[in-house]
Amino acid sequence: MAGAAAPYAALLARERHARCLLADGQGDSGVRLLSDVADAMSDLGALDDADRLARVLEEGGSGARPGRSRGGRPSYGDRLSPRELEVARLLVSGRTNRQIAEELVVSAQTVGSQVRSAMRKLRVTSRTALATRVLQLGLVGGAQRSSTADE
């Protein structure tokens, strides 16, 4: 199966490979690959799979030992990543996903994924609620406060 012809199947194969790396004691490589697969699943729109892999990584079921650097991208937990924050700010200014994508030179699908991720982290269910929450938290304009959902 070619990756371009069946991207979801290719990602599942990469997930299996990452799990094999973890089982063989190659934790850092396995965790990096599993993290990349989770991001790609999200970009593909396979959000259930992306969430499942994120839980595996967060719960330590990945084979990564606590206290060790896993490499790869940093985890922001319930805080918005710098890119999610940038997307949220542009959303507040009234831009559509397509307009945000053009400005940031990414795909509209990537922007949609980042909007969904920001909505999940801030525990809101719509773009309007996300914009409102970002404003409430002071993430747009003046001083910024923590962007955790616990506030």
CATH number at residue 114: 1.10.10.10
Same domain, 131 and 86: yes
Residue 38 CB contacts under 8 Å (≥ 6 apart), including other chains: 49, 50, 53, 54, 57
Say if 113 falls within a structural domain: yes
Distance CA 134, CA 111 (A): 16
Confidence band for 48, pLDDT divided at 50, 70 and 90 = confident
Same domain, 94 and 52: no
The model's pTM: 0.48
Q: What is the residue range of 36's domain?
A: 7-58
Same domain, 48 and 88: no
Same domain, 122 and 86: yes
Same domain, 97 and 129: yes
Q: What is the mean pLDDT of residues 55-72?
A: 55
Say if 87 falls within a structural domain: yes
Share of the chain above pLDDT 70, in %: 79
Tell me what pLDDT residue 145 has.
45
Confidence band for 72, pLDDT divided at 50, 70 and 90 = low
Say if 104 falls within a structural domain: yes
Contact 111, 101 (CB under 8 A): yes
Share of the chain above pLDDT 90, in %: 34
Tell me what pLDDT residue 78 has.
78
Residue with tokens 């199947």: 9
Total count of domains within the chain:
2
Q: What is the mean pLDDT of residues 20-31?
A: 77
Say if 43 falls within a structural domain: yes
Same domain, 129 and 86: yes
- Residue 106: Cβ within 10 Å count: 16
Say if 143 falls within a structural domain: no
Tell me what pLDDT residue 91 has.
94
